[in-house]
Structure 1
Amino acid sequence: MFQPLIHGFLLALGLILPLGAQNVFVFNQGANHKSITKSLPVIITAGLCDTLLILLAIIGVSVILLSMPVLQITIYCIGLLFLLYMAWSLWRARPDTLQTYRPMSAKKQIGFALSVSLLNPHAIMDTIGVIGTSGAVYEGTEKIIFTLSTIIVSWIWFVFLAVAGKMVGSIDKTGKYIMILNKCSSVIILIVAMMILKQLLAILL
């Protein structure tokens, strides 16, 4: 029982650590809000989305879905549009002071978190290709332990990102660093969007 636990833990940690649109957005929202409770919508949404993707990968449903070329193209197109809109929104955010800056509403946090989680082809492919295939070697209780291990790592990581963002945001009294963070986040998300565009063109051409 110890092997699937460690396997799931290390695997999930290795997949979730790289800087991607989802991680950047969760960190950004932690930094942009005065209290961590205001960032709960993005933490919970990202956690639930990863949980859903992991469960689908373990069950094998996601493999069947992505075997359909039309569905793959649709996911890539919608994901690209959402990422471009998010990059544009973050770039335009210009807080003069923390008092006058209005962070994202809970509704907007949820919408953006859904887009970078469920409409991110990289995240979907990683979940299916790595977690799904790795989980296939286990059966019964061991598969449950493996699955729970990967899910727990995901949730802990999102909480950590939001808290780390909050710590960075708390030392910024003028809003200057948050503005820089927003622009850096925008650039990173734009790079991810361009990578998705390249993959989309490869499929279409």
Structure 2
Amino acid sequence: MNASAPADALVGLVTGLGLIVAIGAQNAFVLRQGLRREHVLGVVLMCALADAALVTAGVAGLGPVLTAHETVMAVVRYGGAAFLGWFAFSAARRALRPAALQPAADDAPGGRTRVLLTCAALTFLNPHVYLDTVVLLGSVAHQQDRPWAFAAGAVTASFGWFTTLGFGAGRLAPLFARPRAWQVLDALVALVMAALAVSLVVGT
């Protein structure tokens, strides 16, 4: 008996959550913006819409095309490693000079643009994003009776997760009113970013 569309969507939802919930560059950035309550909606939408576009591309059959171009993936890999290395350095520097949580009044001209550009870089300069969404989810989708129902489930997982992470982080704001809490968070962010940068360089 063929599976129903809701069943395939549920598989997509669970598979999508399994891939995006793990701590990574994107999640660490969304968490930090949520804690600071700065441009959270824009960051959440960018992450979720990027996932939606990449999952759609994977289900449409872009996966084999992408993996066939090793040069493109290599450029993204080393560019992403360099960017993550810089981000890790910045987080480590903040950890050495922690500051208490500030209200969302950091809206100097270009502030929103800088945040969204950083978010885009963390999303699109990470080859694992393409491998997880375009290649892996695209491949799993075509093992289902209704690939597009699976894709809808995966996209729903992305929107649900980033919305929860971004807007739910604000509940932790009282804890992060202390500089020490920011010091710990930034130290962890630095470690995550550095580890990801190294993993990209060594190709794991």
Same-fold call, TM cutoff 0.5:
yes
Render the CA deviation track for 1:135-191: whole Å, top value 9, x for unaligned: 11346xx33221111101101101111133222223332333123212211111111
User: Given the two structures, how large is their TM-score scaled by the length of structure 1?
Assistant: 0.85
Q: In 1, distance between residues paired with 2:186 and 2:75?
A: 28
Distance change (3 Å), C-alpha of 1:53 and 1:144 = same
1:48 maps onto 2:52 in alignment: no
Native 8 Å contact 2:52 2:155 kept in 1: yes
Structure 1: tracts of 5 or more residues without a match: 201-205
Native 8 Å contact 1:82 1:112 kept in 2: no
1:184 maps onto 2:188 in alignment: yes
Native 8 Å contact 1:169 1:177 kept in 2: no
Partner of 1:113: 119
Q: In 2, distance between residues paired with 1:194 and 1:137?
A: 33
When structure 1 is superposed on structure 2, of 68-77 and 124-133 the one drifting more is: 124-133
Distance change (3 Å), C-alpha of 1:62 and 1:106 = farther
Q: In 2, distance between residues paired with 1:158 and 1:121?
A: 20
1:147 maps onto 2:148 in alignment: no
Partner of 2:85: 84
User: Given the two structures, how large is their TM-score scaled by the length of structure 2?
Assistant: 0.85
Render the CA deviation track for 1:87-144: whole Å, top value 9, x for unaligned: 12222233433349976832222112112211211121122332111111346xx332
Partner of 1:203: none
What is the identity, as a one-letter code, of the residue corresponding to 2:136? V
Q: How does 1:1-205 map to 2 (within 5 A)?
A: 1-33=5-37, 38-93=39-94, 94-99=97-102, 105-138=111-144, 142-199=146-203
Q: In 1, distance between residues paired with 2:183 and 2:115?
A: 18
Q: In 2, distance between residues paired with 1:103 and 1:157?
A: 26
Q: In 2, distance between residues paired with 1:32 and 1:90?
A: 15
**RMSD of the TM alignment (CA)?**
2.3
Native 8 Å contact 2:100 2:176 kept in 1: no
Q: In 2, distance between residues paired with 1:50 and 1:14?
A: 14
What is the identity, as a one-letter code, of the residue corresponding to 1:42? V
Q: In 2, distance between residues paired with 1:71 and 1:153?
A: 28
Structure 2: tracts of 5 or more residues without a match: none
Q: In 2, distance between residues paired with 1:137 and 1:27?
A: 33
Distance change (3 Å), C-alpha of 1:102 and 1:10 = same
- Across the two proteins, how many residue pairs are aligned to each other? 195
